[in-house]
A = this chain, B = another copy of it.
Amino acid sequence: MPESPIRKLVPFAEEAKKKGVKVIHLNIGQPDIKTPKIALDAVKNNTIEVLEYSRTEGSEQYREKLAKYYAKHNILVSAKDIIVTTGGSEALSFAMGSIADPSDEIIIPEPFYANYNGFATAMGLKVIPVVSHIDTNFALPPIEEFEKLISPRTKAIVICNPGNPTGYLYSREEIQKLAKIVKNHDLFLVADEVYREFTYDGKEHYSILQEPGLEQHALIVDSVSKRYSMCGARIGCLVSKNSELIQTVLKFAQARLSPPTFAQIASEAALETPQSYFDEVKEEYVARRNLLIEELEKIEGVKIGRPQGAFYCIAELPIENSDDFAQWLLEDFRLNGETVMVAPAAGFYATEGLGKNQIRIAYVLDREQLKRAVRILKEALKSYIG
């Protein structure tokens, strides 16, 4: 298993905290937003006496309600097309195991969520990256770039939409381009859509399962973690109209028996979260993003991939190595007793050498902290370069 790009920094952050330094975390996608009360209350009010295994594929009732949730997002599926998983993580792991055999290849636009590589490696698959660029906000690479990489061993294209770590939201036209490729070459198209609700600037998310004719190719990876700020629940799901693929996923699910019961209760109740919750959360994220971008743009030599979704942003810094810089921030730099922890971006690239001067910032902090964090970054860069 490859190591997470952030993990290497953890001991330095712990050391700094021991010395009394306040570390502002820009490195982790753990929202500070409150979990909907309706979800938390459902767990408090449960009347379980024997905490039994749930159904392997997730409780019937939850999956029925999930199908209705998807219908509201113009994704027409039924309970039988859904397998509930232990977090989006398990959904990814089952997806990797189900779309390909060991030594097969999957193409992923980079930078991508580092654990894609972890789960692919654990299943014996080879990740073939196709480069997307900060200058185009990490838009979909041209079709030719994908086609150059397709081999007889290629089994799928995997995307994250809206993207972690880029915040890029694929347009309908981009999804249609991908649809064309996977249909032409008979591949699966796996889309991690866990940030579906978090789209900004009036833009709407277009799911791979909204695209007609993609039913046999499309596999959605989903999770309640970010949607309802309940990362600790560990509930996700896989969705596909391809029943053969769902049967394969089910075999992986059977081996681990069932997803957690309390968390399914919370997740089922969370589906009743009012739209006003999302409106407020979205407003907050947009305000944070705007503040972050505005402040980052004031720093000389910093380039930003402008995010239209999720709550991440890649920034290119006027430095050579963001691994060293991130460690230096934790070890040596303080502004009024504070420093920041950032995620070096090289870990989000599979191509050696790419992203070395980039970092990922998660804007899951209140604006006041976010503003202080960018100020620290600014002063730190001055001192680091100078």
Instruction: For the complex formed, measure the closest distance between the CB of A235 and the CB atoms of chain B, giving whole angstroms.
Output: 8
**Number of A interface residues in the complex (CB < 8 A):** 57
Instruction: For the complex formed, measure the closest distance between the CB of A217 and the CB atoms of chain B, giving whole angstroms.
Output: 22
**A31 to B, closest residue via Cβ:** B50
**A35 to B, closest residue via Cβ:** B51
Interface flags, A36-62, vs B, CB<8A=1, else 0: 000110011110111111100000000
Q: Does A326 contact B (CB under 8 A)?
A: no
Which residues 6-40 in A have Cβ within 8 Å of B in the complex? 7, 30-35, 39-40
**A37 to B, closest residue via Cβ:** B49
Let me know if B43 and A262 touch, CB within 8 A. yes
Main secondary structure of the interface of A (DSSP, over half): loop
**A89 to B, closest residue via Cβ:** B256
What are 26 of the A-B contact pairs (CB < 8 Å)? Answer: A1-B97, A1-B248, A1-B252, A1-B255, A30-B52, A32-B50, A35-B50, A43-B44, A43-B262, A44-B44, A44-B45, A51-B230, A51-B232, A53-B232, A87-B256, A93-B255, A102-B124, A115-B256, A122-B123, A124-B124, A232-B258, A232-B261, A234-B259, A234-B261, A262-B262, A262-B263
Residues on A lying within 8 angstroms of B by beta carbon are 1-4, 7, 30-35, 39-40, 43-46, 48-54, 86-87, 89-90, 93, 97, 102, 115, 118-119, 122-124, 229-234, 248, 251-252, 254-263, 266
